[in-house]
């Protein structure tokens, strides 16, 4: 049957048994165990680590696991619309959640001194600087989606499960490359200002919308052996709608963060001004020209 309707029970409870899914589970469990263990070590050293960061990272891992091994992956080779949602989870939902968990900062603070020094040197090396170039990250993120959906790559991935697993990894890494810069919570050598981060999101939004529109206007299914034309067009509309909702949500969060940052700067400026005035009063009151005239 072409493009079967997703069943709630399958979406909630179906589990993938391909060997690539088991590999992904092992990696995800190992990363989560490392993160939670590192937060415990940090607390044992008397340092504070935000529970919000931890919660964000855990949710990001769970979203990644559901997208790759969960029920939504049950339809990835049979229902185009569900497959679109799956890939959006990997490129636009899981990466920003993981980035808000600041795992690189956690690694720097919780690792032994030698490991921290080596990691710091790597993060500030030429390779990471090149990979964290905002233009390169934007091109990789947008290009990954366009190349996958608008070339024969999509059909090839539907017929080869191992290559499809690579596609999942590609979408995830492309999302991380962009969202790590946009979120800006981690210890990267290249830290973007709030203005440039807004620009990255605002450039990505119309590109995602344009891709969704192109797919929605398709005249034939991208994978005739598995999907109907109606399913393909619905997937385009879903990409158009969900991508825009996600982008608007991110912009709203960034605006709140910007407002808080400006408030912190204003408070700090007021404190510095108060300290300067107090210093002036202390000088003029104890040994300044005013005190000499009073004598």
Span of 22-26, 27-31, 264-268 with lowest mean pLDDT: 264-268
pLDDT, mean of residues 221-249: 87
The verdict on residue 70 lying in a domain is yes
User: Is 39 part of any domain?
Assistant: yes
Look at residue 286 in the predicted model and tell me its pLDDT. Answer: 52
Tens-digit pLDDT profile for residues 51-91: 999 999 999 999 999 999 999 999 888 899 999 999 999 99
286 is a domain residue? no
pLDDT score of 295 more than 70: no
What pLDDT is recorded for position 285? 64
User: pTM for the full model?
Assistant: 0.84
Q: Is residue 288 part of a domain?
A: no
Q: Which of 39-48, 163-172, 243-252 has the lowest mean pLDDT?
A: 243-252
- pLDDT at 150 > cutoff 90: yes
With beta carbons less than 8 A apart as the criterion, state whether 69 and 24 touch: yes
Please measure the distance between the N-terminal and C-terminal CA atoms of the chain and give it in whole angstroms.
101
Is residue 1 in a domain? no
Say whether pLDDT at 32 is over 60: yes
Higher pLDDT, 54 or 261: 54
In a domain, 2, yes or no: no
DSSP-derived secondary structure letter, 75 = G
Domain extent at residue 180: 8-278
> Mean pLDDT in the chain?
86
Torsions phi, psi for 193 (to 5 deg): -75, 165
């Amino acid at each position: 049957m072409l493009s079967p309707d997703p069943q709630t029970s399958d979406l909630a409870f179906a589990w993938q048994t391909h060997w690539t899914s088991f590999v992904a589970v092992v990696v995800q469990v190992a990363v989560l165990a490392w993160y939670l263990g590192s937060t415990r070590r940090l607390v044992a050293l008397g340092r504070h680590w935000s529970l919000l960061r931890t919660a964000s990272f855990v949710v990001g891992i769970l979203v990644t696991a559901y997208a790759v091994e969960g029920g939504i992956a049950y339809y990835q080779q049979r229902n185009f619309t569900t497959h679109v949602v799956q890939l959006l989870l990997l490129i636009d939902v899981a990466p920003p959640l993981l980035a808000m968990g600041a795992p690189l900062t956690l690694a720097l603070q919780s690792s032994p001194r030698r490991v921290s020094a080596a990691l710091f040197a790597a993060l500030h090396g030429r390779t990471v600087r090149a990979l964290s170039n905002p233009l390169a990250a934007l091109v990789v993120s947008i290009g990954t989606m366009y190349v996958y959906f608008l070339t024969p790559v999509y059909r090839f991935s539907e017929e080869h499960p191992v290559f499809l697993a690579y596609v999942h990894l590609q979408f995830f890494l492309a999302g991380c490359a962009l969202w790590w810069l946009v979120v800006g919570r981690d210890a990267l050598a290249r830290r973007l200002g709030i203005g440039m981060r807004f620009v990255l999101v605002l450039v990505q939004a119309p590109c995602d919308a344009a891709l969704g529109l192109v797919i929605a206007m398709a005249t034939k299914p991208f994978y005739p052996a598995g999907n109907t034309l109606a399913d393909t067009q619905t997937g385009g509309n879903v990409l158009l709608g969900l991508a825009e909702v996600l982008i608007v949500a991110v912009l709203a969060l960034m605006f709140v963060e910007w407002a808080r940052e400006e408030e912190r700067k204003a408070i700090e400026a007021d404190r510095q001004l108060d300290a300067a005035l107090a210093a002036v009063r202390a000088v003029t009151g104890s040994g300044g020209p005013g005190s000499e005239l009073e004598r």
